[in-house]
Amino acid sequence: MRSFWQEMRGGFAALRPEHFPYARFIAALILGFIGGAIFNALTLPLPWMLGPMTFCTIAAILRAPIAAPTVVRPPMSAVIGVMLGAAFTPAILTNLLDWVPTIIGLAFFVAVSGSACVLYFRKIGRMDMTTAYFAGMPGGLVEMVVVGEQRGGDGRTIALVHSARILLVVMTLPFLVELVEGVSLGGRADMGPSVTEAPLTAELWIIGCGLAGAVFGHLLRLPAKYLLGPMLVSAFVHAAGITDFKPPAEIVQGAQIVLGVTIGCRFLGTPPQVILRILALSFGSTMILLVMTLGFAVIVSRFSAFEVLPLMLAYSPGGLAEMSLVAIAVHTEVAFVAAHHIIRILFVMLSAGPTFALLYPKRGGKGGGKGVGKGGIPRMRDG
């Protein structure tokens, strides 16, 4: 627990005016709100997340004076986690056996899609084998960067490719869903009652589940602990029938804006030509992933109790929070989608490193090295 409280104190210290770029962060939020409002007016999918994400990505490429330090993401992730946990109703527990065929299909999807992306980055992106391998894994951004650098890969390239994967999947999948399934993701999704309609206890449940979940996630050393911890606590109190609260819509939309802004700002500090090259390269891998997502969803739907739409969202290698928000927008099974994303991340985290060591036992190192990678992307020193 001591390390948790030290981390919390460090987070509050990072918010001091001498450390936190408030002016640039406010500028990013204003830009994100404008992007969300425009996307909402155009009835585009997930407007309050995709709008800020798109506008801040463009601003990052143009080197605009915006910023979204990582310290702002955990509270917003906790809100989204609590909302996702609210989808775990008592009825979910009676349908868990129906998930077995889809989880088996997910394991094959991770293996096949990961292999295809590794081959793509190796042959088309001309990356070295280590960088291509860990950049091509469909999940686990932080873990793939750490393990990839330990094996001698280019950590910055791996991080940028995974950031681009999340960005592009989140930006394109909603449109694919609309095209394939004929459903609309524009406008206001059913994300709970208005803040003026929700009882005060809803806010208290959000705070309680968020704090308890953060501690729980830290103690269990969960990946994305500020998202998964609150989600699991919220899932428990909902599945056990203790409460049926839903976070107010305005709070959830505010969290979406901040998440969209932070994703778009991930590219800040990177030369524009590098960003554009990574985005162009990642566009090809995203198309591979989306085609395989649709293909596996169609195949697995023949052998399971689930239709193509929830399987597409469950298998898509975008972010857990982002894909779950799409599931909410189309009124499909959020618990099913969220659980499969957690399993996908765990698959990648547990298998990528050992598999690489088995396939390439002579490859390894203590960092990403220096100089320029094979694909012309400058390497970044450790740290």
Task: Read off the pLDDT of residues 125-141 as tens digits, 9 standing for 90 and up.
Answer: 999 999 999 999 998 77
- Greatest mean pLDDT among 147-151, 293-297, 359-363 lies in 293-297
Q: Which residue has the higher pLDDT, 365 or 230?
A: 230
Within 10 angstroms of residue 241's Cβ, the number of other Cβ atoms is 9
Q: What percent of the chain has pLDDT over 90?
A: 34
Predicted model pTM: 0.77
| pLDDT of residue 319 exceeding 50 | yes
The one-letter code for the residue type at 259 is L
Q: Quick check: 66 and 60 in contact, CB under 8 A?
A: yes
Closest C-alpha to 77, from 336, 314, 252, 332: 252
Question: What b-and-e string marks burial along 300-321, b requiring 16 or more CB atoms within 10 Å of the CB?
Answer: bbeebebebbbbbbbbbbbbbb
CA pair distance 247, 78, nearest whole angstrom: 11
> What is the H or E stretch that residue 98 is in?
none
User: pLDDT per residue over 63-88, tens digit each?
Assistant: 999 999 988 888 888 888 898 888 78
Structure tokens at 252: 């959830």
pLDDT greater at residue 349 or residue 299: 299
Name 372's bridge partners: 378
Whether residue 381 has pLDDT greater than 80: no
- Distance between CA atoms of 285 and 172, rounded to whole angstroms? 13
Does 90 have pLDDT greater than 80? no
pLDDT tens, 182-224? 666 555 455 567 777 878 888 899 999 999 999 999 898 887 7
At 186 the pLDDT is 58
Task: In whole angstroms, give the CA distance from residue 334 to residue 340.
Answer: 10
pLDDT, tens digit, 9 for 90 and up, residues 12-38: 888 899 889 999 999 999 999 999 999
Average the pLDDT over 271-275 and give the result. Answer: 88
**Is residue 61 over pLDDT 80?**
yes
Question: How far apart are the C-alpha atoms of 165 and 113, rounded to whole Å?
Answer: 13
Q: Name which residue leads in pLDDT, 298 or 379.
A: 298
pLDDT at residue number 376: 42
Two tokens at 231?
A: 């989600």
Question: Nearest 5°: phi and psi at 180?
Answer: -75, -45
d(CA 117, CA 315): 15
Q: Looking at this protein, which amino acid is placed at residue 21?
A: P
Between 279 and 373, residue with greater pLDDT: 279
